[in-house]
Chain A
Amino acid sequence: MKRVYVKQEVCIACRLCEVYCTARHAEGRDLIGAWRGKGARPIPRIRVEENRPFSAAIQCRHCAEPSCVYACVSGAMRRLSDGTVQADPARCVGCWTCVLACPYGAISRGVGDRPTAVKCDLCPGDAVPACVAHCPNGALEMVQTAETRGSQGGVAG
């Protein structure tokens, strides 16, 4: 089970994680396309919080007990068997109950005619998420942890 953790002591608030997250989730998965292409620019799914000298990047923690999944009224938010928590835009109705439920503030409201919830998806298919791969300072690290339960598993709390 993949997890991304931040080392706040070496985050320099360069926001390259946000930039590369946006690029990774743009149609052509590239920087130029994301910023200068025709489509709407994706919202970054990671966010640098800054209050000098503190800074750290915040994103979905893919909780074992995901409040967003429990709160979701449409069934769009699911914890999959690989341990990741994913928002299905086809089923999301933009009610933002997940925004209200996530204690990390890691879910954003999408934009457009039919906005849906936007959150870290851990870059499915990629060995390493884009934010981790492009952090110049090693402030984001990917950790593999043992999966203890199946989908929607875990101890409630």
Chain B
Amino acid sequence: MTHYDYCVVGSSAAAAGAVEAIRSVDPSGRLAVVSEERVAFYSRPLLTRVITAGASAEDLAYRPKGFLEENRVEVRLGARVDAVDHENRRLLLSTGEELSYGRLLLATGSAAKVPPVPGRDLAGVHTLASLADAQAVAASLGSSGGSTGPRTRSAVVIGGGLIGLQGAEALREVGLEVAVIEGLDRPLATVLDRDTSTLVQEVLAANGVTVLTSQMVKALRANPSDPARVGSAVLGDGRELQADVVILATGVQPRTELLKGLGLAPGRGFPVNSHMATPWPDVYAAGDAAEVSDLLRGGARPFPIWPTAYAGGRVAGLNMAGQQADLPGQVAMNTFHFFGLTVASAGIVEPPADEGCEVLTAGPPPGRGPDAHHRKLVLKDGRLVGFVCVGEAIDRCGLATGLIRQQVRVEGFRESLLKDFGLAPWPEEIRSKYLSREGILS
């Protein structure tokens, strides 16, 4: 049995943050990364490039060649961790190997939810959460129908969240007819306000991607000329849409199966403190699988976004290597692009009516296509708690993210933020802090 001072399970953003943090403190401790994937440290948010541009694993590399060697990381790829024996500090791998660890990081990420729709096991039905998934979709586009059947012409995407819409855009870009089936009454409901999600829906429609809202898929049916493959999707209202390829994108859930003994409720992530330590000694967790504190709403929940994964992994790594570091309360943030429309959002973007938030908006109303620019600010108790920017209005929006994170009172200059995020109109006291040598970050 091989002993490692540090074992990291997973090989995405949180794992990279941990590896880099550990090595900034401890250049020599033995460090292993165990991943069930065949490729480590690739950029998951760029997966659709495999479909649109035939991107290879190297094209998606998140860190330069030599990253593993330079950081003296010993990797176990294609190896799933089957069990964590936290009492004896051991990992049992699917390859039969056993490892012992000094400190362990569970950066197991999240898994795509598979809706219980009949026909989900047919060929041509995919999730889109990993490099292997994206490669399977790309292969599916080439293989559907074989030499005698109809070529791939139509796709159905189940779920109108970020992954679903990105998948839909990619499939449209390679020439397919694409319909997105969303159960709620608008796409991107968890990350965008209603106005902007309507704008996204319009831009998608103008580019040949139909989003059917308040709709469900009852069943996936086989292609009559190739019965092992999917051929159509039957909607809740009885309509049948041709579907030579189907992407299941109904959300993700934290992968916490390795610590079943904690009795976590389904959908919940690993509980961690501000050091990213779980209740089990020397076991840390970060990334989509961990529940971190929510700056704006209080409490803890998974923040399945890349920046939080990296930052959490980094804090875990520093603590694992013996430093003291704390992850601050997190704020959701996303940027996305659909057919030339650029959107950036952070924090609370569609506040419930009873929360006492105030909404300020500027720019032409949504509905003007990809050239639209638009800014929406959400304030509560004199502080900025969220914003959405479209098009050119995203410039310097990080200043607004900073105001949210630092919970700055913005009463005196809130109107200026609608026009330009620049700090010139801000009160001298705040401005000077930004310009000082100490700056605003620790």
Residues of A within 8 A of B435 (CB): 5-6, 8, 56, 58
Task: Answer whether residue A138 sits at the interface, using C-beta atoms and an 8 A cutoff.
Answer: no
- Given A54-B428, A155-B325, A103–B21 Cβ distance below 8 Å? no
Contact assessment for B395 and A71 in the assembled complex, using a CB-CB cutoff below 8 Å: no
Task: Answer whether residue B437 sits at the interface, using C-beta atoms and an 8 A cutoff.
Answer: yes
- Given A73-B43, A99-B344, A157–B328 Cβ distance below 8 Å? yes
Interface flags, B57-81, vs A, CB<8A=1, else 0: 0000111100000000000000000
Task: Kindly name the residue among A3, A93, A149 whose own CB sees the greatest number of chain B CB atoms within 10 A.
Answer: A93
The CA of A85 and the CA of B317, in the complex, are separated in Å by 21
Chain B: interface residue count, which band? 35 or more
**Count, chain A residues at interface, CB 8 A:** 49
Given contacts A70-B310, A150-B23, 11 further A-B contacts (CB under 8 A): A68-B398, A95-B336, A96-B344, A100-B334, A100-B401, A101-B307, A103-B405, A103-B406, A103-B440, A105-B396, A155-B325
Interface flags, B302-329, vs A, CB<8A=1, else 0: 0000110011001100100001111110
The CA of A98 and the CA of B396, in the complex, are separated in Å by 10
Task: Answer whether residue B17 sits at the interface, using C-beta atoms and an 8 A cutoff.
Answer: yes
Task: Answer whether residue B45 sits at the interface, using C-beta atoms and an 8 A cutoff.
Answer: yes
CB nearest to B318 among chain A residues: A156
By secondary structure, the B interface counts as mixed
The CA of A56 and the CA of B333, in the complex, are separated in Å by 28
The CA of A101 and the CA of B344, in the complex, are separated in Å by 10
Contact assessment for B335 and A51 in the assembled complex, using a CB-CB cutoff below 8 Å: no
Contact assessment for B306 and A73 in the assembled complex, using a CB-CB cutoff below 8 Å: yes
Contact assessment for A50 and B63 in the assembled complex, using a CB-CB cutoff below 8 Å: no
Residues of A within 8 A of B405 (CB): 103
The CA of A78 and the CA of B327, in the complex, are separated in Å by 20
Contact assessment for A99 and B398 in the assembled complex, using a CB-CB cutoff below 8 Å: yes
Contact assessment for B402 and A104 in the assembled complex, using a CB-CB cutoff below 8 Å: yes
Interface flags, B380-408, vs A, CB<8A=1, else 0: 00000000000000111111011001100
Residues of B within 8 A of A54 (CB): 424, 428, 431
CB contact between A51 and one of B344, B406, B424 (< 8 Å): that residue: B424
Contact assessment for A65 and B441 in the assembled complex, using a CB-CB cutoff below 8 Å: yes
CB nearest to B336 among chain A residues: A95
Would you give 29 A-B contacts (Cβ < 8 Å), ordered by A?
A3-B437, A5-B437, A8-B432, A49-B423, A54-B424, A54-B428, A54-B431, A63-B441, A64-B441, A65-B442, A67-B398, A68-B398, A75-B64, A96-B342, A99-B335, A99-B396, A101-B307, A101-B398, A103-B402, A104-B440, A105-B395, A105-B396, A105-B421, A105-B422, A155-B324, A156-B314, A156-B325, A156-B326, A157-B326
